[in-house]
Structure 1
Amino acid sequence: MRANTNRFHLRLTTLAALAAVSVLSACGDKPAAGAGAAGQAPEVGVVTIASQNLPLSVELPGRVNPVRVAEVRARAAGIVLKQTFVEGSDVKAGQVLFRIDPAPLQATFDSATAAVAKADATLAQNKLQESRYRELAPVQAVSKQDYDNAQIAVKQAEADLASAKAAQQTARLNLGYTTVTSPISGRVGKAQVTEGALVGQGDATLMATVTQTDPIYVDVTQSSTEVLRLRRSLQTGKVKGVDGAVPVKLVLEDGSIYPQAGKLLFSDITVDQTTGMVTLRAEFPNPNHDLLPGMYVRARLSQAVQDNALTVPQMGVQRTSSGDATVMLVNQEGKVEVRPVVADTAIGNVWVVTKGLSAGDKVIVSGLQKIKPGVAVKTVDANASAPAAAK
């Protein structure tokens, strides 16, 4: 009886073992959950590094200043009869702005003209008398003294005529000053006097101000060391100038870029002895008068050109806890590799890499969260080249 029982338990154990082996075999035939996904290489976006001649620039704060400012003042005394311009409009050099009552000065001019005519007549009379005495003197029909007096009278009459003509010219100029014109082309401000006002009585009354705003100046400050470096870069050809001037771009108060490029004028440099800063002046075309005197702007100056520079989008550069820069790139085997680089200069949204990369390297800029070093990946173009990002 005991023997039968033992054989029964042995059969149950054997069947259980066979069932377990079958289950394990079946499980081994089915793929584990997630194994298929792990078998596919993750997709990452890369940019291919290419060398380029990269301009290095600096951005400096500055103020807009007019090229010329002319204060229009009354040079003749009188009553203002008419204002002939619209305040805030553009005027040309020589354009009439005001008219002053010319009546008193017209009378002065007429009197001076009459004096010229009188002096001219006196001179003619004296010349006629001198001519007669000249014919009579050889035959002693007149005395030598009378002939000498006639000659002297001619010279005095000539001097009187010259003096009368000078007075007439002065009267003519004063009469012309009653028509007040703009000395320069520019934009005229508000009138400082009204019609009916008495001007020029004792002093040259300010009547209006004309400001030339095309072209226009932008004054910025920079250290003398940087200015010397900029000069050397221009002399050695690292910065390409136009007619000896460095090109300048302008960033307006709202962050937009001014469409017209300017040029740096080295001829107008002054150094502040207390700070060692240099005032630089740039000139910009301003046909639409978008730049107004007193505006705050930022000027971008090219400091040098780095030959064969390598740039990486900022999203592709990572920093360690110690601040060292690294990038993740795809090596020739198609696997992820971490490489330390030197990236100390940022221009726009790219880093300038001076060490650690070579032209042709494929730097990963997207999909970084899905990868780790040593993993094989599938690369796609990130549509973000370093040169384009540098603009």
Structure 2
Amino acid sequence: MAGQRGIFARIGMVAVPAALGVAAVFYAGRLKTLPEPVAANRPPALVRVITLAPTDLVPRISGYGTVAPVREWRAIARAEGEITAVAQPLAAGDIVAADTLLFRIDDTDLKLDLANVEAQVSASRVKDQTVEISLGLARKDLELAQQDLKRQERLNTQGVATQAELETSRRQALVAETKVTDLENQLKLNAAEREVLATQRGSLERAIAFAEIRAPYALRVTALDADLGQYVSRGQLLLEAEGVEAVDISAQFPIGRIGPLLRLAGEGATVTGLGARVKLPAADHAVVWKARVERVGDAIDATTQSAPVVVRVDDPQGQSVAGERPPLRRNMVVEVELFAPKRAALVVPAEAVAGGTALVVSEAGTLEPRKVETGFVSGDLAVVTKGLAAGDRLVVTDPSIAVPGMAVKPVEDETRKAEIAAEALGQSPGAAKPGSGMGSGAGSGKGGGAGKTPGAGQ
């Protein structure tokens, strides 16, 4: 009995699984097919868009350059002697007003020489007076001698006067005439001497004037090379300074960017007709100075292919405000903006049209790629000239999968529109806020195609 039970147990261990397998195959055809998973009804991807409309734009380009004074001046000694007076204060960095006495050089010897010349001129005039008196007497003597000569000639003709008496009269007349001539020549010599003295006097007066050195215009002292009590010679450098009435900035601008700006400025526009301003970035705000385009440099940089444009800022010292706007000083590196008159244009984020392609949301709510052309790019903005029109809804962030025809849900990004409007006018858009285009995913930039991660910038 025990052996039979073992045999039946072994048969059951094989037969039962086999029967279950046959039953499963038999009933498999009768079982209903399980419903396939229903495709997930995912909502359309959210994308941020801006509805395009003409925007006021101040086209501008930026370059960088260093500040230099318009005028530089050096004080050179034109008289020699000891420095007896120096303006106070007078040191490097000090600003002195126009016509300020900077140095006085000892002119005592020059004044003594001038007094000597003046005395000689006075003596010459006294000589003239005495000579003129003598000349008057000599002319009377000559007149008498000539009358006596005529009388002797008449008497000699009549046979009354001898030839010897006639010769004596002629000799006396000649002597009187010679004396008159000598006195007249003396007057002429005196006049010539006075002319020489006048020249000497002018030279001395000029030298005395050189003994005082004054500021020709308002100056900022950059170097002081002489001091009180120092003996200086002609040609010696005393002081170096620069004018404070204006400064020039020679900024470099790529040639390829100046042309588009001029085209936006209108027909016949020139570089010197553009507006200009100078900016200096600060910790909490940008410092700005009004400027004007003075000229265009003549040399093109062979390496960078950029052209120098010189702008001028008038009265940088007067425009300075303590704690807010420092004075423009030599060698400061500043940003120079050239801008054209304000005009309306289709202004979009440059990232949104990178590569000449843009994404727009169609009327059906699907993504539609567009080929676009830009005519001007300034910073983060671009001016679209072809491919987009007012009313188009431009995508300013990429969806997770940019498939043409994909359904999306557009969300108008009013903050980004406001930033674009402010930046187009050259105003500060302010700090970026969530949803204003600063991507929160791995993508970077202002959400115009730079960020590629799901939900970037939303």
State the TM-score, normalized to the length of structure 1. Answer: 0.72
* Partner Cα separation in structure 2 for residue 387 and residue 300 of structure 1: 18
The one of 252, 257, 260 equivalent to 2:289 is 260
Find out whether 1:82 has 2:85 as its counterpart. yes
* Partner Cα separation in structure 2 for residue 278 and residue 365 of structure 1: 34
* Partner Cα separation in structure 2 for residue 48 and residue 131 of structure 1: 110
Find out whether 1:216 has 2:271 as its counterpart. no
Identity across matched positions, percent:
19
* Partner Cα separation in structure 1 for residue 204 and residue 104 of structure 2: 17
Match of 1:14 in 2: none
Amino acid at match of 1:353: V
Find out whether 1:293 has 2:323 as its counterpart. no
* Partner Cα separation in structure 2 for residue 312 and residue 277 of structure 1: 27
Note closer, same or farther for the CA distance 1:228–1:269 as it changes in structure 2 (3 Å cut): farther
The one of 384, 388, 393 equivalent to 1:362 is 393
Match of 2:206 in 1: 173
Amino acid at match of 2:280: L
* Partner Cα separation in structure 2 for residue 331 and residue 84 of structure 1: 77
Find out whether 1:387 has 2:390 as its counterpart. no
Amino acid at match of 1:84: A
Note closer, same or farther for the CA distance 1:54–1:182 as it changes in structure 2 (3 Å cut): same
Contact 1:95 1:182 in 2 (8 A): yes
Match of 1:236 in 2: 267
Q: Which deviates the most, 70-79 or 218-227?
A: 218-227
* Partner Cα separation in structure 2 for residue 277 and residue 369 of structure 1: 41
Contact 1:112 1:171 in 2 (8 A): no
Match of 1:271 in 2: 299
The one of 381, 384, 397 equivalent to 1:350 is 381
Task: Name the SS for the 2:244 alignment partner.
Answer: strand
Q: Which deviates the most, 269-278 or 145-154?
A: 269-278
Task: Name the SS for the 1:116 alignment partner.
Answer: helix
**What does 1:1-391 align with in structure 2 at a 5 Å threshold?**
46-52=49-55, 54-86=57-89, 87=91, 88-134=93-139, 137-140=142-145, 143-200=176-233, 203-221=234-252, 236-238=267-269, 245-252=273-280, 257-266=286-295, 269-271=297-299, 278-285=307-314, 286-287=316-317, 288=320, 290-302=327-339, 309-314=345-350, 317=352, 323-327=355-359, 329-332=360-363, 335-342=365-372, 345-365=376-396, 375=407, 377=409, 379-380=411-412, 382-385=414-417, 386-390=420-424, 391=426
Q: Deviation per CA, 1:277-334, whole angstroms, max 9, x where unpaired? A: 65442211213372212222332334x679653111346x165xxx45323x44445x
* Partner Cα separation in structure 2 for residue 230 and residue 376 of structure 1: 37
Note closer, same or farther for the CA distance 1:120–1:45 as it changes in structure 2 (3 Å cut): farther
Aligned residues: 344
Note closer, same or farther for the CA distance 1:233–1:370 as it changes in structure 2 (3 Å cut): closer
* Partner Cα separation in structure 2 for residue 137 and residue 370 of structure 1: 129
Where is the strand percentage greater, Structure 1 or Structure 2?
1
Note closer, same or farther for the CA distance 1:217–1:368 as it changes in structure 2 (3 Å cut): same
Contact 1:238 1:305 in 2 (8 A): no
* Partner Cα separation in structure 1 for residue 377 and residue 261 of structure 2: 19
Note closer, same or farther for the CA distance 1:222–1:330 as it changes in structure 2 (3 Å cut): closer
Structure 1 residue 253, shift from structure 2 partner? 6.4
Note closer, same or farther for the CA distance 1:113–1:216 as it changes in structure 2 (3 Å cut): same
In angstroms, what is the RMSD of aligned CA positions?
A: 4.0
Task: Name the SS for the 2:415 alignment partner.
Answer: coil
State the TM-score, normalized to the length of structure 2. Answer: 0.63
Amino acid at match of 2:311: A
Amino acid at match of 2:61: V
Contact 1:245 1:265 in 2 (8 A): no
* Partner Cα separation in structure 1 for residue 259 and residue 386 of structure 2: 27
* Partner Cα separation in structure 1 for residue 242 and residue 294 of structure 2: 20
Note closer, same or farther for the CA distance 1:384–1:111 as it changes in structure 2 (3 Å cut): same
Amino acid at match of 1:101: D
Structure 1 residue 378, shift from structure 2 partner? 6.3
* Partner Cα separation in structure 1 for residue 264 and residue 49 of structure 2: 34
Q: Deviation per CA, 1:200-224, whole angstroms, max 9, x where unpaired? A: 1xx4211111201321111234577
Task: Name the SS for the 1:297 alignment partner.
Answer: strand
Amino acid at match of 1:294: N
Match of 1:24 in 2: none
Q: Deviation per CA, 1:6-41, whole angstroms, max 9, x where unpaired? A: xxxxxxxxxxxxxxxxxxxxxxxxxx9x98xx77x8
Structure 1 residue 113, shift from structure 2 partner? 2.1
Contact 1:42 1:371 in 2 (8 A): no
Unaligned runs of 5+ in 2: 1-37, 147-172, 321-325, 427-458
Note closer, same or farther for the CA distance 1:47–1:172 as it changes in structure 2 (3 Å cut): same
Note closer, same or farther for the CA distance 1:138–1:271 as it changes in structure 2 (3 Å cut): farther
Unaligned runs of 5+ in 1: 1-31
* Partner Cα separation in structure 2 for residue 229 and residue 155 of structure 1: 78
Note closer, same or farther for the CA distance 1:246–1:181 as it changes in structure 2 (3 Å cut): same
* Partner Cα separation in structure 2 for residue 152 and residue 235 of structure 1: 79
Structure 1 residue 122, shift from structure 2 partner? 2.3
Amino acid at match of 2:87: T
Contact 1:270 1:280 in 2 (8 A): no
Amino acid at match of 2:196: S
Note closer, same or farther for the CA distance 1:129–1:156 as it changes in structure 2 (3 Å cut): same
Structure 1 residue 78, shift from structure 2 partner? 1.1
Amino acid at match of 2:385: T
Amino acid at match of 2:423: A
* Partner Cα separation in structure 2 for residue 191 and residue 219 of structure 1: 28
